[in-house]
Structure 1
Amino acid sequence: MVVGIVGIIISLILLITLAYRGVPVVLAAPVASAVALIFSGAPILASYTEIFMPAMADFVGNYFPVFLVGAIFGVLMTVTGYAESIARSVTAWVGTRSAIAATVITSALMTYGGISLFVVAFVMYPLARELFRAADIPRRLVPGTIALGIFTFTMTALPGTPQVQNIIPGQFFGTSTYAAPGIGLVGGVLIFGLGLLWLEYRRGALIKKGEHFASAASEPQIGGSADDGSSHNIDTLVPTNRVVPFLPLLTVFAVNFALTLVIFPAMNWDYLQHEQFGGITVDERSGLWAVLVGILVAILLIIALNAKNVRQLRVGFTDGVKRSMLPIFSTASEVGYGAVVASVAAFAVIRDSVFNMGGDALVTSVVSTSVTAGLTGSSSGGMTIALNAFGDDLRNMAMTDGTSLEAMHRLTAMASGGLDTLPHSGAVVTLLIVCGLTHRQSYKDLGMVTLAIPVVVVAALIGVVSVFGAF
C-alpha cells in the first residue's frame, strides 16, 4: 500500500514536471498514469483502455459542445471586430490612464459573455499591449492583468457565468449556474477589488524603480508553441456602432438567465425518465443546456448582424473548431489520469484520509477540489477528478449535516480557480507564451491575483457561511 501511495505521488510530480516543461497534457497524463499503475501493480493496457479512455470520453461527451460553441463564438467576436470594439469602448469609459482596470473589465466581460478562456487570452493580448504601451505601464504586468479578468471571478464566482467551471458542480449537486448568488457576488467583488489593488500597487512600485513598458523582453512571436494550430491572420471587420458589439454578450447572459430561472422550470420534463435518456433529471443538465443554448443564440445573432460577410464568418467557424480541440482534450486527458489514480487500491487510503480530516461536506469539497486542481494544473480537470471520486459521498454528507448544496456548488467552483494556476498550469504557460514573458518576469503578479487572493477569499467565505449560512 505504501508503494502504491509513493507511486501516486511520483506520478503527480511527473505530470507537473512534464506540463511545466511544455509536454502536451494529452501525452503527459497517460505517461503519468502508467507510472501510478506500475507502482500499484495494476495492468497497464487494461487500465488504459477500460478506465483512462472511458473517463476521458465521458468528459468530452459531456462538455465538448460548450468548448466547441465557446471557441466558435470567441473567434466570431474577433473576426467581426466586436471584441476590439468592446475593448476600445471600455477604455474610453474608464480612461487610458486606467489601462489596468480597462484590461481587467474587458477580459471579464468577454469571459462572462461566454467566450472560451483560451480564446480571450489570444484576443486580449494585443489590445492590452497597446493600452499598456500608451500608459507606459511595465509590460510584466500584462499577464496578471489579463488573468485577473479571465481566470478568477468571472470563471467561477459570478452567478450565471457560462464557463465550464461553473457548470461542472451542477452535474453532481443538482444545482444551477446561478447557485448561491450572494456568495458569488461577494466573492467576485473581493477578488476583483483586491486583485486590482495589487496590480495598481505593483505598477507604482515598478515605476518608482525606473521600470517602464519597454523595459521588458522583446515582443513575442504569437503562433509558436502557444498556438493550437489555428490562424491568427484573419481579416477582421470594423463595426460602425459601439452598442452592437455588446449585444452577443448580453444575449448569452439573458438567454442563460431566462432558461435557468423561468423557462426550464415551467416545462414538463417527464420524458427524461425514459430509458433512452438514462433517467436523468433536468436539474442535472439545466446548467449545461442553458449555457449551450445561450451561446448558440448569440452565434446566430452574430450571423444575422453580419450576413453580408459570409467569407469572414466561414473562416471564423473553421478556426473556432480548431481552437476547441486542444483545451477539451487536454482537460479530458487529465480527467482520465484522475480516473486511473482513483482506481488503484492506494487511492482508497487517500480518500479515507480526506473524509476523516474532520471537516464538514463544504470544507471537504473545497479542500479536495483545490488540492486536485493544484496537482493537475487545471480547474475544470481537477474539479471533475475530485467530484468523480467524492461527488456522491459529498452530496450525501451535505444532506446529512444540513450543508447547502448551492453554497457547496459556488465555493467548490471558486476553489477550483485557486491552486490551478500554480507554475505548471497549462493556462499559465500558454498565457505567458502569448505575452512573450517568462515565469520569472510575470508569475509573481499572476500568482498573486489568480492563486493567493482567490484562496484567501474562499477561506474567508467558508468561515462566513459556516456562521451565517448560505446567502
Structure 2
Amino acid sequence: MMSLLGILISLGLLMYLAYRGFSVILLAPVLAMLAVLLSGMGGQMLGVYTQVFMKGLGGYVVSFFPLFLLGAVFGKLMDDSGSARTIAAVLISKLGNQQAVLSIVLACGILTYGGVSLFVVGFAVFPIAAALFRELDIPKRLIPGAIVLGALTFTMTAFPGSPAIQNAIPMPFFNTDAFAAPGLGIIAGLVMLVGGMWWMNRRAAKARLAGETYGKHSDATSSVEHDDDPGVVVALLPIILVIGINFLCAKWLLPGLDTSYLATDLFGNIPPSRVIGTWAIVTALVASCLMIIVLNWKRWKNLQESMSQGALGALLPIFNTASEVGYGSVIAILAGFAIVKEFLLGLAPGNPLISEAVFVNVMAGITGSASGGMSIALNTMGETYLGLATQFGINPELMHRVASIASGGLDSLPHNGAVISLLTICSLTHRESYKDIFVVAVAVPLVALIVVIALGTMFGSF
C-alpha cells in the first residue's frame, strides 16, 4: 500500500506543479524518484534513473522524433509562407458572417489535419478570428472554444490519416497505420464536430440574446494585413499532399517494398508492420515541406531561419512528452502499479476496450497531455492490451482508434499546456473561456469515445 500511496502522491504533485508552470522535463525525473523512494526502493534509485527512466525517455525520442521534427518544420513553413492565414481567410469569406464560428473551427481543422500544430494554428488564426468576432460583435471569450474544437478534437484523435502524434503513437503497439478503423474514426469525428458546434452556436446565440458584445479588448494583431500571402490553391496543396501521400504509402507503396532486411540484428529484428505507419507519415511530411518551399519560393524572407526555428520548436514538445514517458516507465515497475493494473483490467473483464479507454484517459488527465498520457498507458499496458485483443477477437485497429480518441478527453483539463498557451495567445483567462473548452474538448469527445466503444463492441472495426 505504501508503494501505491507513493505513486498517488507523485502523480498529484506532477499534475499540480505542471499546472503551476514548472517544467515537466525537471519534474518528471524528480517525482519519479520520489515514487521510487516512497516505494521502499531508495537504494536502487540511481539505477532506476539511468536504466529505466532514461531508457523510457530515449525510446520515445527514437520512435517519434522524426514526426515531431517534420511536423514542427511543416507548421512553421505553413505559417511563414502565409498559407495558414490564406486558408483561414478564404473559409471565413466563403462561409459568410452567419457561420463565423464554423469558419474558425473548419480553418483550424483543415490546418491541423494537414499536420500544422495547435500553436501555429493559434497564432495564425486568432488575429483573423478576433477581427471577425469584433466586426460581428460576438464575444471574444468564445474564440478559444472555437479554436480548440477545430484543433484539439476530431482532427487530432479521430479522423483517419491524421499525422497528429496522438494518431501515430498507437501504431507500433498494435501494428497499425494512421488510417486504422476509418469508419469508426469518421463517426467519432462527426460526433465531436456536430456536438461541439451545437454547443458553440448555442453559446453565441445566448450571448446575442443577452446583448453581450465582443467586449473591450485590445487586439493589435487583428488588423495586420499580409498582401503577399499565397492563393488558396497554393496554400491547400501541401495539406492535400500530406493526407494523399500518407494514404498511398501506408496502404500500397511501402507494404510492397522488400523489407526482409528488418529481420536482421542490425535493424532490431522488427516486423515491417511496426514501422510502415511511421515511414508513411515521415515520407508525406518531407514531400509536403518540399512542396511548400517550391510553391512559395519568392515569398521566403529567410528560409533558413524558418526551417531552423521549426526544428528548434520540435525540441521542447518532444522532451516534455518523452520525460512523461520516462516517468511512466518508472511507475510501471513499482509494486503499487500492479494494483492499479489489476484494477483496470478488472473493470470490464470481457471488454478490454473499456479498460484501455479508462486507463488512457486517466493518464492523459493526470499528465495534462494527450500524447504523454497515452504513451505512459501503452508503454506499460500496450502488450497486455494487444494480447487481450487477440484473446477476445478484437481487431487491433479498433484498439488503436479507441486509444487515440481516449487520449483526447481528460487531457484538456485546466492544466493542459496547449490550453494554457492558447489562452495566453488570446489574452483571456480560464474564468472567461474554459467552460467552452471543457465542453468541446472534454465532454463531447468522451461522448464520442462511448459511441465508438459501443459500435466497436457490437460490429467490430470498420
Q: TM-score range by the shorter chain?
A: over 0.9
SS in 2 for 1:199: helix
| Local SS of the residue matching 1:63 | helix
Residue 289 of structure 1 is matched in structure 2 by 279
Displacement of 1:5 in angstroms is: 0.8
Q: Residue 15 of structure 2 contacts residue 367 of structure 2 at CA under 8 Å; is this kept in 1?
A: yes
What does 1:264-283 align with in structure 2 at a 5 Å threshold? 264-283=254-273
CA separation in 2, counterparts of 1:85 and 1:309? Answer: 14
TM-score, reference length from structure 1: 0.93
Q: SS at the partner of 2:157?
A: helix
Per the alignment, residue 323 of structure 1 pairs with: 313
Cα distance change on mapping 1:74 and 1:237 into 2, 3 Å: farther
On the 8 A contact 1:81/1:237 being kept in 2, the answer is no
8 Å contact 2:10–2:31 — kept in the other structure?
yes
- Give the conservation status (yes or no) of the 8 Å contact 1:255–1:293: yes
Are 1:333 and 2:333 counterparts? no
How far 1:256 moved relative to its partner?
0.4
Corresponding residue number in structure 2 for 1:131:
132
**Does residue 249 of structure 1 match 2:236?**
no
- In the alignment, the residues of structure 1 paired with residue 227 and residue 275 of structure 2 have an alpha-carbon distance, to the nearest angstrom, of 36
Q: Match of 1:466, as an amino acid?
A: T
1:461 aligns to 2:452 (yes or no): yes
Of 379, 397, 419, which aligns to 2:410?
419
Q: Is 2:442 the partner of 1:451?
A: yes
Q: Deviations over 1:92-145 (max 9, x none)?
A: 211133121011101010111011233222222222222222222111111111
- Residue 395 of structure 1 corresponds to 386
**In percent, how many aligned pairs have the same letter?**
42
The 3 A distance-change label for structure 1 pair 350 and 380 is: same
Shift of 1:274: 1.4
Secondary structure of the residue that 1:195 maps to in structure 2?
Answer: helix
Aligned residue for 2:207, secondary structure, equals helix
Counterpart of 1:196 in structure 2 is 197
* Cα distance in 1 for residues equivalent to 2:352 and 2:195: 28
CA contact (8 A) 1:236 1:312 kept: no
Contact map agreement 2:347 2:354 (CA 8 A) in 1:
no
Q: 1:432 aligns with which of 400, 420, 423?
A: 423
Aligned position for 1:442:
433
What runs of 5+ residues in structure 2 fail to find an aligned partner? none
CA contact (8 A) 1:220 1:433 kept: no
* Contact in 2 for aligned 1:79/1:237 (Cα 8 Å): no
Amino acid at match of 1:166: N
Correspondence for 2:334 among 344, 348, 354: 344
For structure 1, the residue ranges without an aligned partner over 5 or more in a row are 223-232
CA contact (8 A) 2:368 2:415 kept: yes
Does structure 1 residue 30 correspond to structure 2 residue 29? yes
State the partner residue of 2:366. Answer: 375
Answer yes or no: is the 8 Å Cα contact 2:255–2:276 preserved in 1: no
Residue matched to 2:182? 181
Deviation of 1:219 (Å): 4.7
- Per the alignment, residue 75 of structure 2 pairs with 74
Q: Is the 8 A contact 1:151 1:450 kept in 2?
A: yes
- Mark the CA change 1:220 to 1:183 in structure 2 (over 3 Å): closer, same or farther: farther
User: Contact 1:36–1:341 (CA<8 Å) still a contact in 2?
Assistant: yes
Q: CA deviation at 1:80?
A: 1.0
Q: Which whole-Å CA distance do the structure 1 matches of 2:6 and 2:226 have between them?
A: 50
Following superposition, the deviation at residue 335 of structure 1 comes to: 0.8
Amino acid at match of 1:384: S
Letter in 2 for 1:164: I
The aligned counterpart of 2:164 is 163
Q: For residues 176-199 of structure 1, what are the alpha-carbon distances to aligned partners after superposition, in whole Å with 9 as ceiling and x for unaligned?
A: 111111100111111001101100
Letter in 2 for 1:281: P
Q: Is the 8 A contact 1:97 1:135 kept in 2?
A: no
Question: Does residue 62 of structure 1 match 2:63?
Answer: yes
Flag the 1:32–1:207 CA change in 2: closer, same or farther, 3 A.
farther
Deviation at 1:238, TM superposition (A): 1.6
Provide the rounded CA distance (Å) in 2 between the counterparts of 1:65 and 1:237: 33
Q: 2:293 aligns with which of 298, 303, 311?
A: 303
Shift in Å, 1:287: 1.4
**By how many angstroms is 1:344 displaced?**
1.3
Aligned residue identity for 1:131: L
SS of 1:41's equivalent in the other structure is coil
Distance 1:221 1:247, change over 3 A: closer
Q: Displacement, 1:400? A: 0.8
CA root-mean-square deviation:
1.9
Could you tell me how far 1:237 is from its partner in structure 2? 7.3
Amino acid paired to 1:448 = V
Distance, in Å, in 1 between the alignment partners of 2:230 and 2:405 is: 38
Cα distance per residue 1:269-308 (max 9 Å; x no partner): 1111111110112211111111111011011111212333
Which moves more between the two structures, 251-260 or 425-434?
425-434
Aligned residue number for residue 376 of structure 2: 385
Match in the other structure for 1:90 = 91
CA contact (8 A) 2:85 2:229 kept: no
Deviation readout 1:412-455 (Å, 9 max, x if unpaired):
10010001111111111111111111111111100100000000
TM-score, length-scaled by structure 2: 0.95
Match of 1:230 in 2: none
**Number of residue-to-residue matches in the alignment:** 458
3-state SS, counterpart of residue 213 of structure 1: coil
Q: Say which of 329, 337, 345 aligns to 1:355.
A: 345
Aligned partners of 2:214 and 2:47: how far apart in 1? 54
Q: Which runs of 4+ in 1 moved over 4 A?
A: 217-222
- The AA in structure 2 aligned to 1:119 is V
CA distance in 2, matches of 1:64, 1:240: 30
CA contact (8 A) 1:191 1:457 kept: yes
Distance 1:53 1:241, change over 3 A: same
The equivalent residue for 2:116 is 115
CA distance in structure 2 between the partners assigned to 1:436 and 1:454 by the alignment: 26
